[in-house]
Structure 1
Amino acid sequence: MAGEQLKPIATLLLGLNFCMYVIVLGIGGWAMNRAIDHGFIIGPGFDLPAHFSPIYFPMGNAATGFFVTFALIAGVVGVASLISGLNHVRFWNFDSLPAAASSATIAWTLTLLAMGFASKEIELQYRNARLRTMEAFVIILSATQLLYIAAIHGAASIRRST
């Protein structure tokens, strides 16, 4: 069957993206937990600080809260898209392609959004080592997710032309 040569590439990218999204979720979960535990204390008798932000992170810079939030959303949607990707790789036919392609594209666009905040965080500099690791993974994921989308669409166009 035409397009079968791209199936191992798509499977490899699917596995790689799964591992990277899980790492992003792990580091993002750590950062969110730390922000919740060490953020502002607001309650009766406490006034809001002068420059209060609901997305305050005690580590990093002004872009950290946005980056972590959108990286977590991209990670969850990325892992969910990998479920339909596994289904597509298993059957490898036109019926499973639309779900895999659309969910992968949504995950990729959210990953690009997180990558934009990662770029801003890099530009502002001051951040910790775990956040630098998460930035690197999000930037790499934006490329590997695009390659995965190209692989599944490339196989479909090969099959359609024969």
Structure 2
Amino acid sequence: MAGQGVKPIASLLLGLNFCMYAIVAAISGWALNVAIDRGFIIGPGLVLPAHFSPVFFPIGNAATGFLVIFALIAGVVGAAAAIAGVHHIRTWNYDSLPSAASSGIVAWALTLLAMGLACKEIELKGRNACLRTVEAFLIILSATQLVYILAIHGVRRI
């Protein structure tokens, strides 16, 4: 089958993307846990602060809540897309391409959404090292996921 030359590239990108998506999901999960543990608790007799946001995160800035939630979703969907991609890499035929390509495109779209929020968070400044790691990984993943999608479409009929 033609297109066997891009199979090693697609395999490398698949492994890289899986590891990066897992790291993004883990750090985003940690940040969500911090927000739940340190968040504002409304008890009897307490009122909401003047600028309270339902997506309040005690770390980072105003965009952190949205970034963490969308990065967590993108990380989980991206890792699942990588698992679907393993089947395509193993078989490398037209029957396995649609599932790998569609899940990869959905993961890429969610990664682009999270990357846009990461860019907004970078613009607002005031975040810690873990959030900067998530931002960097999302920016890198937006490119590597696109290259992976293009590589798996390298399968051509003879």
Tell me the TM-score range normalised by the shorter chain.
Answer: over 0.9
Match of 1:55 in 2: 55
SS at match of 2:71: helix
2:32 matched to 1:32? Answer: yes
Deviations 1:18-40 (A, max 9, x none): 00001101110111000000010
Match of 2:150 in 1: 150
2:124 matched to 1:116? Answer: no
Match of 1:13 in 2: 13
SS at match of 2:90: helix
SS at match of 2:126: coil
Q: Within 1, Cα distance between the matches of 2:107 and 2:19?
A: 15
Which runs of 5 or more residues in structure 2 are unaligned?
none
Q: Within 2, Cα distance between the matches of 1:40 and 1:124?
A: 22
Match of 1:78 in 2: 78
TM-score normalized by structure 1?
0.95
Structure 1 residue 45 displacement after superposition: 2.7
Structure 1 residue 46 displacement after superposition: 2.1
Deviations 1:75-128 (A, max 9, x none): 011011112100100110000000000000000000000000000000011111
Q: Within 2, Cα distance between the matches of 1:149 and 1:46?
A: 51
Q: Within 2, Cα distance between the matches of 1:148 and 1:21?
A: 14
Q: Within 2, Cα distance between the matches of 1:58 and 1:5?
A: 48
TM-score normalized by structure 2?
0.97
Misfit runs of 4+, over 4 Å: none
Match of 1:67 in 2: 67
Q: Within 1, Cα distance between the matches of 2:97 and 2:105?
A: 12
The alignment covers a number of residue pairs equal to: 158
Q: Within 2, Cα distance between the matches of 1:102 and 1:87?
A: 13
SS at match of 2:57: coil
Structure 1 residue 43 displacement after superposition: 2.9
Amino acid at match of 1:96: S
Deviations 1:50-69 (A, max 9, x none): 21111101011100001111
Identity %: 72
Match of 1:134 in 2: 134
Match of 2:4 in 1: 4
Q: Within 1, Cα distance between the matches of 2:12 and 2:43?
A: 49
SS at match of 2:56: coil
Pairwise CA RMSD = 0.9
